[in-house]
Amino acid sequence: MTEHHADHRADAEANRLNEIPRIPLNSGYDIPQLGYGVFKVDPAETERLVTEALDVGYRHIDTAAIYGNEEGVGRAIAASGIPRDELFVTTKLWNDRQSGDQPRPALEESLHKLGLAHVDLYLVHWPSPANGHYLNAWTQLVTLNEAGLTRSIGVSNHLVEQLERIEAETGTLPAVNQIELHPAHQQREVVEWSTSRGVRIEAWGPLGQGKYDLFGASAVHDAATAHERSPAQVVLRWHLQKGNIVFPKTVSRERLVENLRVFDFELSDAEVDAISALDPGDGSGRVGAHPNDVN
Active site residues: 67
Which CB sits closer to ligand NAP, 38 or 267?
38
Sign of CA dihedral 288, 291, 293, 295: positive
Min dist. Cβ of residue 94 to ligand NAP (A): 11
Task: Pick the closest to residue 116 from 155, 71, 169, 152 (CA basis).
Answer: 71
Residue 162 CB, nearest approach to ligand NAP (Å): 14
- For residues 139 and 230, which CB has a smaller minimum distance to ligand NAP in the complex? 230
By beta-carbon proximity to ligand NAP, the closer residue of 145 and 156 is: 156
Q: Judged by CB, which is closer to ligand NAP: 145, or 178?
A: 178
Q: Closest CB to ligand NAP belongs to which residue?
A: 37
Q: Which residues pair with residue 88 across a beta bridge?
A: 60
37: helix, strand or coil: strand
Q: Where on the chain is the footprint of ligand NAP (CB under 6 A)?
A: 37-39, 62, 125, 156-157, 178, 204-210, 230, 232, 247-252, 255, 258-259
According to DSSP, the β-strands at 119-124 and 245-246 are unpaired
Torsion region of 68: left, alpha or beta (phi above 0 gives left; psi -120 to 50 gives alpha): left
Q: How far is the CB of 36 from ligand NAP (least distance, A)?
A: 8
Task: For residue 119, give the nearest of 157, 140, 93, 139 by alpha carbon.
Answer: 93
**DSSP H or E stretch at residue 200:** strand 200-204
Nearest distance in Å: CB 205, ligand NAP: 4
DSSP assignment letter at 124: E
Give the separation between CA 88 and CA 119, rounded to whole angstroms: 8
Q: Is the distance from CB of 62 to CB of 38 less than 8 angstroms?
A: yes
Nearest approach, Cβ of residue 97 and ligand NAP (Å): 15
If the CB atoms of residues 10 and 18 are measured against ligand NAP, the closer one turns out to be 18
Whole-angstrom CA distances from 44 to 61, 179, 248 are 17, 27, 19
Question: What are the Cα distances from residue 246, in Å, to 116, 135, 162, 221, 292?
Answer: 23, 26, 23, 20, 23
Pairwise CA distance, residues 145 & 138, whole Å: 11
Q: Which is nearer to ligand NAP, 1 or 44 (CB)?
A: 44
Bridge partners (DSSP) of residue 155 are 124, 177
C-beta of 207: minimal distance to ligand NAP in Å? 3
